[in-house]
Each structure stands twice: as structure tokens, then as C-alpha cells.
């Protein structure tokens, strides 16, 4: 029982130290960079690109599906119906 409490206390203290010192934890990819560094701009741009990619993919797939659907409706409208013959 004492070893469990000792482990829990050690984990709590270690977590508190890491949380109090973001430089030790490397909490942010751009926190340690100097002002005007190009790496910060590149990092932020790449995050925006990754956020926009799913929306662009969804829009492309939706657009292709819409145009294929509209083309099939247009072809059905322009085609002549099959002739019905009586026997």
C-alpha cells in the first residue's frame, strides 16, 4: 500500500514539475523559436494546410458526384424512350 502511495506521489510531483516548466516539456513547437523565425510561419502554414485538406477532398468528391449525377439526368432526358409494340 505504501509503495502505491509513494508511486502516486512521485508521479504527481513529476507531473507538476513538467506542467510548471513548459520549456522542459516542449509544450509547443513554436515556443522555443525566436521572433521572426521562418520555422514558425512554416509550422503554422502546414497546420492550416492539414486542416483544409479534408474539406477540399470532400468538396472534390461531392463536386464530381454532382456532375456525374447531372450528366446522367441530362442523358436520360435527351434519349428516346424505347418503342412499345403490341403483340
Mean pLDDT computed over 35-39: 82
pLDDT at 1: 61
CA distance 9 to 4: 9
| DSSP letter string, 26-79 | T--SSTTSPTT-HHHHHHHHHHHHHHHHHHHHHHHHHHHHHHHHHHHHHHHHHS
Burial 34-55 (b: 16+ CB within 10 A, else e): eeeeeeeeeeeeeeeeeeeeee
pLDDT at 25: 56
Query: What rounded mean pLDDT belongs to the chain?
Result: 83
Residue 4 pLDDT exceeds 70: yes
Amino acid at each position: 500500500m505504501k509503495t502505491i502511495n509513494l508511486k502516486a506521489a512521485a508521479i504527481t510531483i513529476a507531473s507538476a514539475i513538467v506542467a510548471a516548466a513548459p520549456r522542459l516539456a516542449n509544450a509547443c513547437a513554436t515556443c522555443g523559436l525566436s521572433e521572426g523565425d521562418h520555422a514558425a510561419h512554416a509550422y503554422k502554414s502546414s497546420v492550416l494546410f492539414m486542416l483544409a485538406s479534408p474539406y477540399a477532398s470532400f468538396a472534390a468528391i461531392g463536386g464530381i458526384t454532382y456532375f456525374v449525377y447531372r450528366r446522367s439526368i441530362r442523358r436520360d432526358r435527351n434519349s428516346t424512350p424505347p418503342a412499345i409494340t403490341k403483340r
